[in-house]
Amino acid sequence: MSDDVIEYFYSAHSAYAYLGAPKLAEIARDTGWQVVHRPFDFLPVVDAAGAQSLKARSPAHIDYFFGRELSRWAQWRGLPIISHRPTYHDNPLGTANGMIIASNTPDRISFAILQAHWRDDADIADAATLLQIAHDCGEDGEALLKAASSDVVKAKHATNTAEAITRNLFGSPTYFVHGDMFYGQDRLEMLARAIQHPFDP
pLDDT in tens, 31-73: 999 999 999 999 889 888 876 666 677 888 778 878 899 999 9
Q: Looking at residue 195, what is its pLDDT? A: 97
CA nearest 147: which of 172, 130, 129? 130
Q: Looking at residue 3, what is its pLDDT? A: 84
Q: Looking at residue 57, what is its pLDDT? A: 72
Minimum mean pLDDT range among 58-72, 121-135, 184-198: 58-72
Q: Looking at residue 52, what is its pLDDT? A: 62
Q: Looking at residue 60, what is its pLDDT? A: 82
Q: Looking at residue 73, what is its pLDDT? A: 96
Q: Looking at residue 1, what is its pLDDT? A: 53
Rounded to an integer, what distance in angstroms lies between the CA atom of residue 121 and that of residue 62?
18
Average pLDDT rounded to a whole number, residues 183-194: 97
- Domains of the chain in start order, with CATH, are 5-196 (3.40.30.10)
CA atoms within 13 A on the CB side of 42: 20
Mean of pLDDT over the chain: 94
Q: Looking at residue 54, what is its pLDDT? A: 63
Global pTM value: 0.93
CA angle 187, 62, 53 (to 5 degrees): 85
* Of 83 and 162, the one with more pLDDT: 162
Q: What's the burial of 40, exposed, middle or buried (CB within 10 Å: 0-12/13-18/19+)?
A: buried
Within the chain, how many helices (H) and strands (E) appear? 10, 4
Look at the chain and count its residues.
Answer: 201
Partners of residue 181 on adjacent β-strands = 176
* Of 58 and 161, the one with more pLDDT: 161
